[in-house]
Amino acid sequence: MALYDAVVVGAGIEGSATAYNLAKNGQRTLLLEQFPLPHSRGSSHGQSRITRVAYGKDDHYANMMKEGGKLWRELERESGTSLFLNCGCLAVGTPDNPFIKGTISSLARHRVNHDVLSYKNLQNRYPMLSLPPDHVGVLDYSGGVLMADKALQAFQKMYVRYGGELRDGEKVINIIPGSDVTIITSKGQYKARKLVLTVGPWATKLLPQLGIHIPLKVVLISVLYWKEKTAGEFSSDRFPAFIHDGEDIHVYALPSLEYPGHVKVCLHVGPVTNPDSRDKADTREVITEMQQYVSKYMPSLKSTPSIIETCMYTNTPDKQFVLDHHPAWKNIIIGAGFSGHGFKLSPVVGKVLSEMVMDKSPSYDLAPCQIDRLIQPKSQL
Ligand SMILES: Cc1cc2nc3c(=O)[nH]c(=O)nc-3n(C[C@H](O)[C@H](O)[C@H](O)COP(=O)(O)OP(=O)(O)OC[C@H]3O[C@@H](n4cnc5c(N)ncnc54)[C@H](O)[C@@H]3O)c2cc1C
C-alpha cells in the first residue's frame, strides 16, 4: 500500500485549499471527497461569497485577511481565472451597534480605505434601500465578492497540476490512528503520515469516531434570490456586498450577479439540521422573516423569493474556527467549525493547516482556534 505524506478528507474550500498548499510544497497528497465533484451538498458551493478585511475585535482574522487578499490574487494568476470582484462591502446598523463600531475601528487599525456614511449619505448613495433613520453605514473599499464555485475549482485544478491526487465519490468510513494513519473508504484503504480532516458539517459525525466531542451546530441557511423591480438597480457598480446587523437583524446581501436581475439576500441564521437529511429542515419561518425584511428595507425588490437554494454553516459556540491537532494523535489535523465566515479565509486556512502537516510553526497565532476550548465530556453535549 502506498504511503502518502498527507491524506486530506473533504474537498470543500478548506480541504481543497489545504491540499493545494501541500502539493505546491512537494508533499505526496491524496484528497478524498465523498460526493462526485462538483456537488452542492456541503458548504462551499454556489457562485458568490462576501469578502472583507474588517473583523471587529477578532484581530487575528483581520490579520489573516490582509494576506488572504494577496493569496486570492495569486490563485487568480496561477489558475488564469478571475475570482474577486472588488465592489466594496457596506455594513449598516445603528452607530452604537458593536458590529458597526468594531468594523470602523478594525478598518482604521488596519489602515484599510473606508468611509463612514451618515444616514443622509446612505440615502443618497443607495436609494434602493429604505433603512431606519437611526442607521449609519461603513463602506470597506477593499471588500467585495469572491466567485465561490470558480475559486473551489481553481484550488482543485492547481492542486492536480502540482501533482496532487484527487479521488471523488469515495467516502471515508473509518480512520485507524497510529504512527501512520490508516484510512478506510468506500472503495479502498490508504496509509498516510498525516491526516487532515476538513469535512465541514460532517465533522459532527467523523470527530466523535475519533473520540472528540465538541458542540458543533450545523444549521441550514436558505439562499434566497429576489427579483429587481427595476432592472440593473442592484448591479455591482451600484450596490456593494451588504451586511445589516442589529439586535434582531442579521442579514447579508450581494449585488445582482449569478442570476440576471436577481439579488441574493439571506438571513445569517437557520434551523439546526443533520447534513445527511438537511432537506427535511423546516425553513418556513426564515422565509417569512425574510419576506418581511425585504418588503421593509429593500422595497425595490419583489417581496417573494424567486429562487431558493440551501447551504450549511457549521457553528462553534464562540464562532471561532477549529484549527488544531487531534489532542491525542498529533498526526491528525483538524479544520472545522468555520461558522459561516470561512470562505474568504480559506487560502490562509489552507496555508496554516499545511504548515501543521509539514511540522512548521503556523504563520499565525492560532490560540483562539484551539480545540481544547470546546472539548466536553460526551454527556454534556
Ligand atoms: C449560504 C452560505 C453563505 C456563506 N457566506 C459566506 C461569506 O459571505 N463569506 C465567507 O467568508 N464565508 C461564507 N460562508 C461560509 C463558508 O462558505 C464556509 O465556511 C466554507 O465553505 C466551509 O468549507 P468546508 O470546506 O469546511 O466545508 P464543506 O464545503 O462542507 O466541505 C466539506 C467536504 O467534506 C466532504 N466530506 C464530508 N465527510 C466526508 C467523508 N467521510 N469522506 C469524504 N468526504 C467527506 C463533504 O462532502 C464536503 O465536500 C457561507 C456559507 C453558506 C452556507
Distance CA(237)–CA(233), nearest Å, equals 9
Helix (H, G, I), strand (E, B) or coil at 64: helix
Centroid of ligand 1 to alpha carbon of 13 (angstroms)? 6
120 lies in the same domain as 206: no
222 lies in the same domain as 301: yes
pLDDT per position as a tens digit, 159-190:
999 999 999 999 999 999 999 999 999 999 99
Q: What is the CATH number of the domain that holds 357?
A: 3.50.50.60
Count up the domains in the chain and report the number. 2
The answer to whether residue 84 sits within a structural domain is no
The answer to whether residue 111 sits within a structural domain is yes
Cβ of 364 closer than 6 Å to ligand 1, yes or no, is no
**Contact (CB, 8 A) for 233 and 354:** no
267 lies in the same domain as 364: no
Domain stops at, among 315, 348, 366: 315
Centroid of ligand 1 to alpha carbon of 7 (angstroms)? 18
Cβ of 225 closer than 6 Å to ligand 1, yes or no, is no
Q: Which of 110, 8, 19 is nearest to 67 (CA)?
A: 110
Cβ of 12 closer than 6 Å to ligand 1, yes or no, is yes
By most ligand atoms within 8 Å of CB, the mutation choice from 9, 44, 58, 307 for ligand 1 is: 44
Q: Which residue is associated with the grid cell 456537488?
A: 39
The reported pLDDT for the residue numbered 376 is 76
Domain stops at, among 315, 344, 370: 315
The reported pLDDT for the residue numbered 3 is 96
255 lies in the same domain as 338: no
The answer to whether residue 59 sits within a structural domain is no
Q: Which of 7, 75, 8, 12 is nearest to 39 (CA)?
A: 12
Q: What is the CATH number of the domain that holds 111?
A: 3.30.9.10
Domain stops at, among 271, 287, 315: 315
Does the pLDDT value for residue 2 go beyond 90? Answer: no
Q: Which of 240, 283, 279, 286 is nearest to 263 (CA)?
A: 240
Give the model's confidence band at 1: pLDDT under 50 very low, under 70 low, under 90 confident, else very high. Answer: confident
Centroid of ligand 1 to alpha carbon of 11 (angstroms)? 9
The reported pLDDT for the residue numbered 307 is 98
Amino acid at 340: G
Cβ of 181 closer than 6 Å to ligand 1, yes or no, is no
Helix (H, G, I), strand (E, B) or coil at 238: coil
pLDDT per position as a tens digit, 87-118:
999 999 999 999 999 999 999 999 999 999 99
Distance CA(119)–CA(127), nearest Å, equals 11
129 lies in the same domain as 226: yes
Q: Residue 195 is placed in which grid cell?
A: 491526516
Cβ of 43 closer than 6 Å to ligand 1, yes or no, is yes
310 lies in the same domain as 259: yes
Structural domain including 208 reads: 3-45+149-213+318-380
Cβ neighbours of residue 303 closer than 8 Å, sequence gap 6 or more = 226, 291, 294, 295
Q: Which of 370, 333, 328 is nearest to 8 (CA)?
A: 333
The reported pLDDT for the residue numbered 347 is 98
The answer to whether residue 51 sits within a structural domain is no
CA 287 vs. chain centroid, Å, equals 22
Cβ of 350 closer than 6 Å to ligand 1, yes or no, is no
Mean pLDDT, rounded, of the chain: 96
34 lies in the same domain as 17: yes
224 lies in the same domain as 356: no
Distance CA(196)–CA(20), nearest Å, equals 13
Distance CA(217)–CA(220), nearest Å, equals 10
Residues paired with 90 in a beta bridge = 139, 242
Centroid of ligand 1 to alpha carbon of 135 (angstroms)? 32
Distance CA(99)–CA(93), nearest Å, equals 8
243 lies in the same domain as 198: no
